[in-house]
Structure 1
C-alpha cells in the first residue's frame, strides 16, 4: 500500500513538472496560461509536502536519520531494522552453538605466555562451574584469559598492562552483581564468564544496528550496501571472545 502511494505521488510530481516546463518553453503571456502555471506550481509544492510527510511517517517511524535522501527507500525502514536485528541475534546463537560444539571435540591451543591462576578444569570447582566452562570455555582463550584474570585479581603481572581496564571493570561489576544471585552454586569466575558473554553479544547487536545507521548516512540511503557492510564488518571477531571494550 505504501509503495502504491509513493508511485502515485511520483507520477503526479512528474506530471506537474512537465506542465510547468511546457508553459515556460512556449513563452505564454495570456492570463489563462499564467494561471495554469501558478496552479501547476502550487500543485507541485503541495504534492512535494505530502510526499515528504508520507515518507517521514512510513519510512522513518522506527529510525530517523538526518541527511538521508528519503526517495531512495523502496519500503518501510522499520521492517529493515527488524530484519537486521533478527539476523544479528541469530548469528550470535549460531556462533555460541558452534563454539560449544568445537569446545567439546577439540582441545584448546596452549597459551604458555599467560601467567595467572589456573583454569577451572584444573581446580576443584563445583559441577555447575565445570558445566558452564564446558559450554563457554571456548570464549575464554587468548586475550580473554587476561581480561578475566584482571577482572578477578587486578593488574598483577606486567604483561597485563597491555590491556585496557574498561572491559575488566565491566566484567567485575556485572559478574559480581550476577554472583549475588547464583554465588551459592558457581564461582565468581563463572559469573564473570556468563556476564561477559551476555555483555559482548548485546554490544554486538547494538554495534551492528549503529553501523547500519552510519552506513545509511554516509552512502545516501543505499540499503543493500548498508546491510552488506554490517554482514562483512571485519571487527566482529572481537565480539566472539571476551575482549570487546
Structure 2
C-alpha cells in the first residue's frame, strides 16, 4: 500500500476516534456550566429525527469557539465580538449547508445540518493537511521514514479535537502547509491562492507571506545577483503576492467595516437580537463601533483587547497557572530547540539561511532555518500576548516544526517499521512525546465536549 493511502487512512481513523470519544464522554459526563456564549436557538427548532440524532451523536462538538463559528455560519456577524473569527470557514459551512438543505429539503434544520457539515469539512481539510505535510517533509528532509513518523504524529497531535470540531484549524493548517510546500518547491505563483485564502481564514495568515518573501529572497541571492532579468521577475512575484495578500486582508476588513461602520440595518431573528441585548453585545446595524474612528479602522486588535482581554502579559495571573502548565510542553519544546538550533548553526543564522552550504548534512539545516524562525516567533507571541491555553492548537495548526522536532527523536531510535515507531517508543523523551500526544488527544476531547477548560 502506498504512503498516500496510509496517510489518508491514518487521518480518517484518527477523526473517527475523536468522534467516538466525543460521543462516549458527552454521554457519560454531564456538561459543565461554563457561562460562555451559546448561540440562541430558533423558536421553530423542531424535534425531528435529524435534530435528535445530531444532539445525541455530535452535540459535544458544539462547544467554546465552535459556537461562534456555527453562529456566524447560520446568522452572520450579528455581534461585534464575533469579528475576531474570520469568515472563510463559517461561510464555507453556510453555503454547503444551504446547498445540502436544497438537496435534502428542510427536514434537517440549518443548525443541525451545519454542525454535521462542519465536522465533515474538517475531516476533509485535516486529511488534505496530512497529505501536504507528508509532501513538505519529503521536500525538506528527503526521508520517507521521517515523513511517515511526522504524519503519524500529526494525525494524533495534542490539539486534535480542534481539528474536528467546528473550528478553522484544519482549513488554516492545510492552507498554511500548502504555502510552505509551494515555496519549498519554488512555485511561488501557486502559493498565492492558499496565501490569500489563509488570510481570509485566520488573522495570522498574513505571516505566511514571510515564506514567500524568504524563498524569493533566497532565490535572488543564489541566482539573481548577476542576472538582472531574474531579479526583476522575482521582484514582480513578490509584488504580486504582496498585492494579493493585501487585497485579501483588505476585503475582510472592508466587509467588517461595512457591517459596523456604514450599515444601519441588519436582519436578524428576534431570538438573536434579544440574546445580544441581554448580553450587552453591540449589534450589527445598531451604531458605529468605537474602532470605526481609528486612523486605520481595523477591528481585530480592539476586539481582542476589549472583549477577550488579550494583550502583552495580560494573562499573567495566578489563577492561569494551570493553563500555563497545559501549554508548557509545546512552548518549551519549540523555544528550547529553536535556540539550540541557532546556537548550533551560527553560520546559517548569521547569513539568515540565504547562502546554501555545500555539505549535504548542512542542507537540511539550511532548509529548516525559516521554519525554525517562524515557529520561534509564533511561540514567543503565544507566550506573551495570547490566552496561553490556545498555544497548543495555534502552533499545531500553523507550523510543521513541532512535528519535525518530535519525529527526529523517534527516528534516532528507530530500527523497525516507521509507521509503528510512534507506538513503541524506547527512550524517556519518546515515551513522553507519545504520552503527551495521546494524553492530550484523549483528555482534550473529553474536557472539550463537556464544556470543561480546553479551549
Quick check: TM above 0.5? yes
2:151 is the alignment partner of 1:230? yes
Cα deviation, 1:81-135, whole Å, max 9, x if unaligned, reads 2222222222122221221111211223334231530499xx6432320211211
| Aligned match of 2:242 | none
2:191 is the alignment partner of 1:191? no
- On the 8 A contact 1:143/1:243 being kept in 2, the answer is yes
2:67 is the alignment partner of 1:137? no
Q: For the pair shown, which has the larger CA radius of gyration, 1 or 2?
A: 1
2:166 is the alignment partner of 1:242? yes
Range with greater deviation from structure 2 (149-158 or 181-190)? 181-190
2:35 is the alignment partner of 1:127? no
2:10 is the alignment partner of 1:87? yes
From 31, 37, 41, the counterpart of 1:114: 37
How much has 1:237 moved relative to structure 2? 4.1
Whole-Å separation in 2 of the counterparts to 1:82 and 1:209: 9
> Which protein, 1 or 2, shows the higher relative CO under an 8 Å CA cutoff with sep ≥ 6?
2
How much has 1:137 moved relative to structure 2? 0.8
- On the 8 A contact 2:36/2:64 being kept in 1, the answer is no
| Aligned match of 2:20 | 97
Alpha-carbon RMSD across the aligned residues, in angstroms, is: 2.3
Gaps of at least 5 residues in structure 2 are 172-455
Whole-Å separation in 1 of the counterparts to 2:42 and 2:18: 22
- Total equivalences in the alignment: 166
- On the 8 A contact 1:176/1:191 being kept in 2, the answer is no
TM-score, normalization by structure 2: 0.34
Distance 1:111 1:178, change over 3 A: farther
TM-score, normalization by structure 1: 0.62
- On the 8 A contact 2:62/2:166 being kept in 1, the answer is yes
Gaps of at least 5 residues in structure 1 are 1-77
- On the 8 A contact 2:38/2:67 being kept in 1, the answer is no
How much has 1:209 moved relative to structure 2? 0.6
| Aligned match of 2:345 | none
2:87 is the alignment partner of 1:165? yes
| Aligned match of 1:69 | none
Whole-Å separation in 2 of the counterparts to 1:114 and 1:197: 20
